[in-house]
Chain A
Amino acid sequence: MHEELVGVRYLIRRLGFFVLTLWAAMTLNFFIPRMMPGSPEEALRQRLSKGGAVVTPEQLRTVLAEFGFDPDKNIFLQYGEYLRSMVTGHWGVSIGSSLGVPVTTLIGDALPWTLGLVGLSTVLAFVLGTLIGTVAGWRRGGLIDGIVPPVFIVTSALPYFWVALLLISLFAIGNNPVLPNDFNYDQSLTPGFTGEFIWSVIKHGILPAGTILITAVGGWILTMRNNMVTTLAEDYVRMARAKGIPGRRIMFGYAGRNAFLPNLSGFAMSLGFVISGTILVEYVFNYPGLGYMFYNATVSTDYPLLQALFLLVTLAVLICVLLCDFAVFLLDPRARTKG
């Protein structure tokens, strides 16, 4: 009974944190663009007149009002309206390069590519890193452990974009390019569930995914290895050895399981870094995912799109943090009693 109560309190605390962080993100979103130089009005005027059209201030204001910007209105009124429309999913229309298209549509088009590319390679990096780290920490001082730390300290300090450029210059440019370095699939193909199309998608994904894998895996390996080393010194591990439990079971069931917990919490926290990597990697490879869209929205000061993307990214990180929290909560009895 008591434990349940602690559990409920814990859940409420985490949910409160969730809502508060989301609100902070939305508020930052609202105020940063409005505090800074560079007005959307001016940007829109330039973009429209570039097309050859002469725009009067009145016309401009009508267009902007349709896009949800009203410079005459009280900023707090705007803020309240903004919060309401964010929560209800009315994220407005783009005022950037794809003028007038609903932001949700734009994001919906780009989301699957990022989820497929970044999601898969991040999870793969996490799983691989945890496994390699477990083995390296288990065979302390062994062959693997001799190579692992120095190599992966180096890879974890490499800039994402540099690895991307290196891979491009190795595999995609030169006399016989092996892999494509541009876009998400061959543009001459029509999307569909054909073997040719799927193969093209995979081929276009290898280099960006490889970049994320190379730069992300090192951190997991190092933390997991070090957690392993610390856990292996615990008394219960010695006890397990004394009882004659097979090594493999000690490695995964006794030491690995406990060493894994901090790594799991770290996974959620590091997602921010993964996202930063995504923007750079997608930019280098012109991969039409959310990161590339974010970059483009910045270049064209597309407020609605920027806001929606930032909110979405924050939401994604928060959900992951929450999931990892609950996973730790389930896996670790100690977390339940702490409250």
Chain B
Amino acid sequence: MSAIVAGTAAPTPSVTRRPRGGLLRAILRNRKAMVGAALLLLFILLAAFPQLFTPGLHGDPRAIGDVPLAKPSGEHWLGTTGLGQDVYAELIYSTRESLVIAVVAGLGATILSVIIGVSAAYLGGFADDGLSMLTDIFLVLPTFPLIIVLATYAGKGNLTVIIIVLILTGWSYGARQMRAQALSLRNRDFLESARVRGERSSYIIVVEVLPTMISLIVANFLGAALYSVLTAAGLQFLGLGDPNSLSWGTMLYWAQNQGALVNGLPAWALSPGLAVALLGVSFALLNYAFDEISNPALRPVRRRRAKS
């Protein structure tokens, strides 16, 4: 996402002065944040309790049925697959794996970028040069081709492999931002006083530096999660995932392979992609809203608006 981001015209209270008390209120007042959070909550519910949303289903959502390639009807809300499986049930049950990939890979990439970015800034000198160079190289290497190559050779389908690969390729952008912010913090007085108190570096980083960077870290997680959702779905769509797994990308793969569009079943071909898109949108909305709320660059703009 963008490094320099400012807000919309929506009147938000001046949260920058009181970050803690105002944060929740700012989120509640930001329409983008609310829509994004509501969508994400829905997906979490779907992932946790899929059976609540599929009342007609008994047993395995992938159970092979009698009517293949059926159009959407009262019985099969989104039609059936080439093997007669109910598309709607598959869609609901696929939420779990897609959400897990997004959260785990997003978290992993964020942690890695915090470690590398902050230590580069904090260690300085030779270590900084080396780590920054590493970050820049990973930033420029075309990740998706690299992921495809890795996923092909590392054995298809394995969920762990996909997540590890997503983490390895997804950290660099965040690390660069982390390093920049940690650098700007390095000579602040409160860190100086901690150093004078004789605290260990690890204590200073964990207790003093990281909490001040929390908004950047959250924004980074949202960006990394968005990247993971889209990339994982793309990989699975290309057939590089486990063809038997229950996930949106795999559904898309089968829909493409069994000619869903050609057979006149757009609901089957498009609904998993729509789910991916909606999950992505919820991360993107939250990310953008978070930028709006946390960026102090907003203030002069608001003043200008107030005057005119």
Show the binding face of A for B, using Cβ within 8 Å.
Answer: 17, 20-21, 24-25, 28, 32-33, 35-38, 140-141, 145-146, 149-150, 153-154, 156-162, 165-166, 168-169, 173, 222-223, 226-227, 229-230, 232-233, 262, 266, 269, 271-273, 275-276, 279-280, 283-284, 294-295, 298-299, 301, 306, 309-310, 313-314, 317-318, 321
B305 to A141, Cβ gap below 8 A?
yes
B179 at the interface (CB under 8 A from A): no
Q: Which applies to chain A's interface (DSSP): helix, strand, loop or mixed?
A: helix
A173 to B149, CA, bound (A): 32
Q: Which applies to chain B's interface (DSSP): helix, strand, loop or mixed?
A: helix
Told that A149-B32, A279-B144 touch, could you supply 19 new A-B pairs with CB distance under 8 A? Answer: A20-B137, A25-B141, A36-B152, A36-B155, A37-B155, A153-B281, A158-B281, A222-B288, A223-B4, A223-B5, A226-B5, A230-B297, A230-B301, A232-B301, A272-B141, A276-B143, A276-B145, A283-B238, A295-B148
Stretch of B46-54, B67-75, B186-194, B272-280 contacting A (4+ beta carbons < 8 Å):
B272-280
Within 8 A of A (CB), among B1-18: 2-9
Provide the residues of chain B in CB contact with A313, threshold 8 Å: 142, 145
Give which listed residue, B136, B148, B281, B304, contacts A17 with CB less than 8 A: B136
B153 to A226, Cβ gap below 8 A?
no
Nearest Cβ distance between residue A34 and chain B, in whole angstroms? 9
Show the binding face of B for A, using Cβ within 8 Å.
Answer: 2-9, 32, 133, 136-137, 139-146, 148-150, 152-155, 173, 226, 230-231, 233-234, 237-240, 252, 256, 261-262, 264, 266, 269-270, 273-274, 276-277, 280-281, 283-285, 288, 291, 297, 300-301, 304-305
Closest to A154 in B: B281
Nearest Cβ distance between residue B215 and chain A, in whole angstroms? 16
A141 to B226, CA, bound (A): 27
B9 to A140, Cβ gap below 8 A?
yes
Provide the residues of chain B in CB contact with A36, threshold 8 Å: 152-155
Give which listed residue, B238, B273, B283, contacts A295 with CB less than 8 A: B238
Provide the residues of chain A in CB contact with B291, threshold 8 Å: 226
Nearest Cβ distance between residue A74 and chain B, in whole angstroms? 22
A161 to B277, Cβ gap below 8 A?
no
B153 to A33, Cβ gap below 8 A?
yes
A169 to B270, Cβ gap below 8 A?
yes
A274 to B277, CA, bound (A): 17
B261 to A158, Cβ gap below 8 A?
no
Provide the residues of chain A in CB contact with B269, threshold 8 Å: 165, 169
Provide the residues of chain A in CB contact with B276, threshold 8 Å: 159, 162
Closest to A318 in B: B140
Q: Give the tally of cross-chain contacts (CB within 8 A).
A: 177
Provide the residues of chain A in CB contact with B144, threshold 8 Å: 272-273, 275-276, 279
A294 to B5, CA, bound (A): 36
Q: Which of B141, B145, B231, B277 has the most CB of A within 10 A?
A: B145
Provide the residues of chain A in CB contact with B149, threshold 8 Å: 32-33, 298, 306, 310
B234 to A276, Cβ gap below 8 A?
yes
A157 to B4, Cβ gap below 8 A?
no
Provide the residues of chain A in CB contact with B264, threshold 8 Å: 173
Provide the residues of chain B in CB contact with A150, threshold 8 Å: 32
Whether A309 touches B139, Cβ cut-off 8 Å, given contacts A169-B266, A266-B2, is no
Provide the residues of chain B in CB contact with A141, threshold 8 Å: 8-9, 305
B301 to A157, Cβ gap below 8 A?
no
Provide the residues of chain A in CB contact with B2, threshold 8 Å: 222-223, 226-227, 262, 266
Whether A153 touches B285, Cβ cut-off 8 Å, given contacts A159-B230, A321-B140, is yes
A301 to B240, CA, bound (A): 13
Q: Which of A271, A294, A298 has the most CB of B within 10 A?
A: A298
List the 6 shortest-distance A-B pairs measured between CB atoms, nearest first: A36-B153, A276-B144, A162-B273, A141-B9, A157-B280, A157-B284
Closest to A162 in B: B273
Give which listed residue, A157, A301, A314, contacts B277 with CB less than 8 A: A157
Nearest Cβ distance between residue B206 and chain A, in whole angstroms? 30
A291 to B50, CA, bound (A): 37
Give which listed residue, A145, A262, A298, A321, contacts B3 with CB less than 8 A: A262
